[in-house]
Amino acid sequence: MIRAAQQRGLLGVEQDRIVKNVFSTQTTTVRSVMTHRTVMFSLSQKLRVEEALPRALEEGYSRIPLYRDHPEEISGVVLLKDLVSHYLKGNRNWPLHRIMKEAYFLPESRKVSQAFWDMQAKNQGLAIVLDEYGGVAGLVTREDLLEEFVGEMYDEDEVIHEQLIKPLADGTYTILGMTPLHVLADFFKVGFSVERVHTFGGLLLQISGRVPVVGEEISTPFGRAVVREMERHRVLSALLIPEGRVANLTP
Protein backbone atom coordinates (compact mmCIF):
# COMPACT_ATOMS: atom_id res chain seq x y z
CA MET A 1 0.00 0.00 0.00
CA ILE A 2 2.82 2.39 0.91
CA ARG A 3 4.72 1.50 -2.27
CA ALA A 4 1.61 2.17 -4.39
CA ALA A 5 1.14 5.59 -2.77
CA GLN A 6 4.81 6.41 -3.39
CA GLN A 7 4.56 5.43 -7.05
CA ARG A 8 1.51 7.64 -7.52
CA GLY A 9 3.27 10.57 -5.87
CA LEU A 10 0.72 10.73 -3.05
CA LEU A 11 3.37 10.75 -0.32
CA GLY A 12 6.17 13.23 0.19
CA VAL A 13 9.41 12.21 1.92
CA GLU A 14 8.19 13.28 5.37
CA GLN A 15 4.73 11.75 4.97
CA ASP A 16 6.32 8.55 3.72
CA ARG A 17 8.49 8.31 6.84
CA ILE A 18 5.58 8.94 9.19
CA VAL A 19 3.34 6.36 7.50
CA LYS A 20 6.10 3.75 7.74
CA ASN A 21 6.59 4.58 11.41
CA VAL A 22 2.87 4.19 12.10
CA PHE A 23 2.92 0.67 10.68
CA SER A 24 6.07 -0.27 12.62
CA THR A 25 4.56 0.87 15.95
CA GLN A 26 1.90 -1.83 15.56
CA THR A 27 4.56 -4.51 15.97
CA THR A 28 7.18 -2.75 18.15
CA THR A 29 6.80 -3.34 21.90
CA VAL A 30 7.19 -0.82 24.70
CA ARG A 31 10.24 -2.74 25.91
CA SER A 32 12.06 -1.70 22.73
CA VAL A 33 11.70 2.04 23.40
CA MET A 34 11.64 2.28 27.21
CA THR A 35 14.35 3.64 29.49
CA HIS A 36 15.75 0.64 31.35
CA ARG A 37 15.41 0.57 35.14
CA THR A 38 19.22 0.48 35.60
CA VAL A 39 19.48 4.02 34.19
CA MET A 40 16.07 5.27 35.33
CA PHE A 41 16.16 8.43 37.47
CA SER A 42 13.85 8.31 40.49
CA LEU A 43 13.57 9.93 43.91
CA SER A 44 12.44 8.84 47.35
CA GLN A 45 8.92 9.98 48.18
CA LYS A 46 10.26 10.98 51.62
CA LEU A 47 12.44 13.78 50.24
CA ARG A 48 11.31 17.36 50.84
CA VAL A 49 10.54 19.70 47.96
CA GLU A 50 13.65 21.80 48.62
CA GLU A 51 15.84 18.67 48.62
CA ALA A 52 14.34 17.19 45.47
CA LEU A 53 14.13 20.28 43.27
CA PRO A 54 17.89 20.85 42.69
CA ARG A 55 18.35 17.19 41.76
CA ALA A 56 15.33 17.22 39.46
CA LEU A 57 16.52 20.39 37.72
CA GLU A 58 19.99 18.96 37.28
CA GLU A 59 18.60 15.82 35.61
CA GLY A 60 16.26 17.87 33.42
CA TYR A 61 13.23 15.57 33.42
CA SER A 62 9.70 16.98 33.57
CA ARG A 63 8.22 13.87 35.25
CA ILE A 64 10.03 11.86 37.92
CA PRO A 65 9.06 8.48 39.41
CA LEU A 66 8.96 8.25 43.21
CA TYR A 67 9.61 5.17 45.33
CA ARG A 68 8.83 4.12 48.89
CA ASP A 69 11.87 2.35 50.35
CA HIS A 70 13.54 0.94 47.22
CA PRO A 71 13.78 2.18 43.60
CA GLU A 72 11.77 -0.83 42.43
CA GLU A 73 8.88 0.07 44.73
CA ILE A 74 7.41 2.85 42.60
CA SER A 75 4.67 4.70 44.49
CA GLY A 76 3.90 7.66 42.26
CA VAL A 77 5.18 10.40 39.97
CA VAL A 78 6.04 14.03 40.69
CA LEU A 79 5.98 16.75 38.03
CA LEU A 80 8.89 19.18 37.83
CA LYS A 81 6.47 22.07 37.34
CA ASP A 82 4.75 21.11 40.61
CA LEU A 83 8.10 21.06 42.43
CA VAL A 84 8.90 24.55 41.16
CA SER A 85 5.39 25.79 41.96
CA HIS A 86 5.40 24.51 45.56
CA TYR A 87 8.94 25.81 46.12
CA LEU A 88 7.85 29.29 45.03
CA LYS A 89 4.72 29.09 47.19
CA GLY A 90 6.85 28.40 50.28
CA ASN A 91 5.93 24.71 50.62
CA ARG A 92 9.60 23.76 50.65
CA ASN A 93 9.41 21.33 53.57
CA TRP A 94 6.56 19.31 52.11
CA PRO A 95 7.46 15.64 51.48
CA LEU A 96 7.11 14.56 47.87
CA HIS A 97 4.41 12.02 48.64
CA ARG A 98 2.18 14.98 49.52
CA ILE A 99 2.25 16.34 45.97
CA MET A 100 2.83 13.20 43.89
CA LYS A 101 0.49 11.87 41.23
CA GLU A 102 -0.66 8.26 40.96
CA ALA A 103 1.72 6.09 38.95
CA TYR A 104 0.53 4.54 35.70
CA PHE A 105 1.76 1.08 34.73
CA LEU A 106 2.13 -0.74 31.39
CA PRO A 107 3.32 -4.27 30.57
CA GLU A 108 6.53 -4.40 28.57
CA SER A 109 4.79 -6.51 25.92
CA ARG A 110 2.29 -3.75 25.03
CA LYS A 111 2.65 -2.54 21.45
CA VAL A 112 3.84 1.05 21.03
CA SER A 113 0.75 2.16 19.11
CA GLN A 114 -1.63 0.68 21.68
CA ALA A 115 0.40 2.07 24.61
CA PHE A 116 0.37 5.55 23.11
CA TRP A 117 -3.40 5.62 22.70
CA ASP A 118 -3.89 4.16 26.18
CA MET A 119 -1.75 6.94 27.69
CA GLN A 120 -3.40 9.56 25.51
CA ALA A 121 -6.89 8.48 26.62
CA LYS A 122 -5.91 8.52 30.29
CA ASN A 123 -3.90 11.76 29.96
CA GLN A 124 -0.76 10.08 31.29
CA GLY A 125 2.64 11.56 30.46
CA LEU A 126 4.76 8.79 31.95
CA ALA A 127 4.26 5.06 32.48
CA ILE A 128 6.21 2.60 34.60
CA VAL A 129 6.91 -0.49 32.49
CA LEU A 130 6.49 -3.86 34.21
CA ASP A 131 8.14 -7.15 33.24
CA GLU A 132 6.34 -10.48 33.06
CA TYR A 133 6.82 -11.03 36.80
CA GLY A 134 5.38 -7.66 37.80
CA GLY A 135 8.74 -6.08 38.57
CA VAL A 136 9.87 -2.68 37.31
CA ALA A 137 11.50 -3.04 33.89
CA GLY A 138 11.84 0.67 33.12
CA LEU A 139 9.77 3.68 32.13
CA VAL A 140 8.40 5.23 28.97
CA THR A 141 6.95 8.68 28.31
CA ARG A 142 4.20 9.62 25.93
CA GLU A 143 6.79 11.68 24.03
CA ASP A 144 8.95 8.54 23.64
CA LEU A 145 6.02 6.75 22.04
CA LEU A 146 5.03 9.71 19.88
CA GLU A 147 8.58 10.02 18.59
CA GLU A 148 8.17 6.53 17.16
CA PHE A 149 5.46 8.03 14.94
CA VAL A 150 6.80 11.45 13.98
CA GLY A 151 10.34 11.87 15.30
CA GLU A 152 11.81 14.19 17.93
CA MET A 153 9.34 16.00 20.21
CA TYR A 154 9.62 18.65 22.91
CA ASP A 155 8.20 18.44 26.42
CA GLU A 156 7.47 21.01 29.13
CA ASP A 157 10.99 22.44 29.50
CA GLU A 158 10.00 25.83 28.10
CA VAL A 159 7.29 26.18 30.75
CA ILE A 160 9.77 25.29 33.49
CA HIS A 161 12.32 27.79 32.15
CA GLU A 162 9.70 30.55 32.28
CA GLN A 163 9.36 29.96 36.03
CA LEU A 164 13.13 30.04 36.60
CA ILE A 165 13.97 32.96 34.31
CA LYS A 166 11.49 35.84 34.29
CA PRO A 167 12.03 38.67 31.77
CA LEU A 168 11.24 42.17 33.05
CA ALA A 169 9.99 45.18 31.10
CA ASP A 170 13.36 46.96 31.16
CA GLY A 171 15.21 44.06 29.51
CA THR A 172 16.58 42.59 32.74
CA TYR A 173 15.69 39.23 34.28
CA THR A 174 14.81 37.81 37.66
CA ILE A 175 16.71 34.53 38.02
CA LEU A 176 16.09 31.97 40.74
CA GLY A 177 19.25 30.79 42.47
CA MET A 178 18.34 27.14 41.82
CA THR A 179 18.43 27.67 38.04
CA PRO A 180 20.86 25.17 36.46
CA LEU A 181 23.78 26.81 34.66
CA HIS A 182 23.14 24.79 31.51
CA VAL A 183 19.63 26.29 31.36
CA LEU A 184 21.08 29.81 31.59
CA ALA A 185 23.73 29.02 29.01
CA ASP A 186 21.08 27.79 26.57
CA PHE A 187 18.74 30.70 27.29
CA PHE A 188 21.36 33.44 26.86
CA LYS A 189 23.40 31.57 24.23
CA VAL A 190 26.56 31.89 26.33
CA GLY A 191 29.28 29.25 26.22
CA PHE A 192 31.45 28.82 29.32
CA SER A 193 32.72 26.17 31.71
CA VAL A 194 32.87 26.22 35.48
CA GLU A 195 33.90 23.62 38.03
CA ARG A 196 32.12 22.34 41.14
CA VAL A 197 28.94 24.41 40.82
CA HIS A 198 25.79 23.66 38.87
CA THR A 199 23.34 26.45 39.72
CA PHE A 200 23.21 30.23 39.30
CA GLY A 201 23.23 30.72 43.08
CA GLY A 202 26.29 28.49 43.39
CA LEU A 203 28.02 30.47 40.63
CA LEU A 204 27.41 33.74 42.50
CA LEU A 205 28.87 32.26 45.68
CA GLN A 206 31.91 30.99 43.80
CA ILE A 207 32.59 34.27 42.01
CA SER A 208 32.07 36.32 45.18
CA GLY A 209 34.31 34.04 47.22
CA ARG A 210 31.99 34.43 50.20
CA VAL A 211 28.32 34.59 51.10
CA PRO A 212 26.98 37.71 49.34
CA VAL A 213 24.48 40.12 50.86
CA VAL A 214 21.23 41.43 49.44
CA GLY A 215 21.96 44.30 47.05
CA GLU A 216 25.48 43.14 46.25
CA GLU A 217 26.43 43.31 42.57
CA ILE A 218 28.43 40.46 41.03
CA SER A 219 29.83 40.24 37.50
CA THR A 220 28.98 36.95 35.73
CA PRO A 221 29.37 35.51 32.21
CA PHE A 222 25.68 36.35 31.67
CA GLY A 223 25.91 39.97 32.81
CA ARG A 224 25.77 41.82 36.12
CA ALA A 225 23.81 40.11 38.87
CA VAL A 226 22.31 41.96 41.82
CA VAL A 227 21.39 39.69 44.74
CA ARG A 228 17.72 40.13 45.63
CA GLU A 229 16.90 37.36 48.11
CA MET A 230 19.01 35.27 50.49
CA GLU A 231 18.15 32.39 52.81
CA ARG A 232 20.99 31.71 55.22
CA HIS A 233 23.91 30.87 52.92
CA ARG A 234 21.84 30.38 49.77
CA VAL A 235 21.02 32.85 47.01
CA LEU A 236 17.27 32.52 46.36
CA SER A 237 17.07 35.04 43.51
CA ALA A 238 18.99 37.77 41.75
CA LEU A 239 18.36 40.45 39.17
CA LEU A 240 20.40 39.80 36.03
CA ILE A 241 21.38 42.82 33.93
CA PRO A 242 22.71 41.78 30.50
CA GLU A 243 25.53 43.80 28.99
CA GLY A 244 24.30 47.12 27.56
CA ARG A 245 21.20 47.26 29.77
CA VAL A 246 20.42 49.78 32.49
CA ALA A 247 18.22 48.50 35.30
CA ASN A 248 15.92 50.08 37.83
CA LEU A 249 17.51 48.89 41.07
CA THR A 250 14.79 50.35 43.29
CA PRO A 251 13.40 47.52 45.49
Query: Per-10-residue mean pLDDT for the chain, 251 residues long?
Result: 40 41 59 86 95 88 93 94 93 96 93 88 93 91 77 49 83 89 85 74 88 92 92 87 64 48
Which pLDDT score, from 0 to 100, does residue 19 have? 42
190 found inside a domain: yes
Sign for the pseudo-dihedral over CA of 88, 92, 94, 98: positive
Return the C-alpha torsion angle 228, 230, 236, 242, nearest 10.
Answer: 30
Judge if 103 and 21 occupy the same domain.
Answer: yes
Tens of pLDDT, residues 235-248: 889 999 988 655 55
What is the reported pTM?
0.58
CATH number of the domain residue 215 falls in: 3.30.465.10
Structural domain span for residue 174: 159-241
Burial category of 10 from C-beta neighbours within 10 Å (exposed 0-12, middle 13-18, buried 19 and up): exposed
CATH number at residue 36: 3.10.580.10
The answer as to whether 250 is a domain residue is no
Q: Same domain for 81 and 10? A: yes
251 lies in some domain: no
Q: Are residues 128 and 55 in the same domain?
A: yes
Give the residue from 81, 21, 76, 14 showing the smallest Cα distance to 53. Answer: 81
Last residue of a domain, one of 91, 115, 150: 150
Structural domains of the chain, count: 2
Measured in degrees and rounded to the nearest 5, phi and psi for residue 137 equal -100, -30
What is the maximal distance between C-alpha atoms in the chain?
Answer: 71
Same domain, 196 and 121: no
Mark whether 23 and 130 lie in a shared domain: yes
Tell me if residue 219 falls in helix, strand or coil. strand
Model pLDDT for residues 44-85, shown as the tens digit of each residue: 999 999 999 989 988 888 899 999 999 989 999 999 999 999
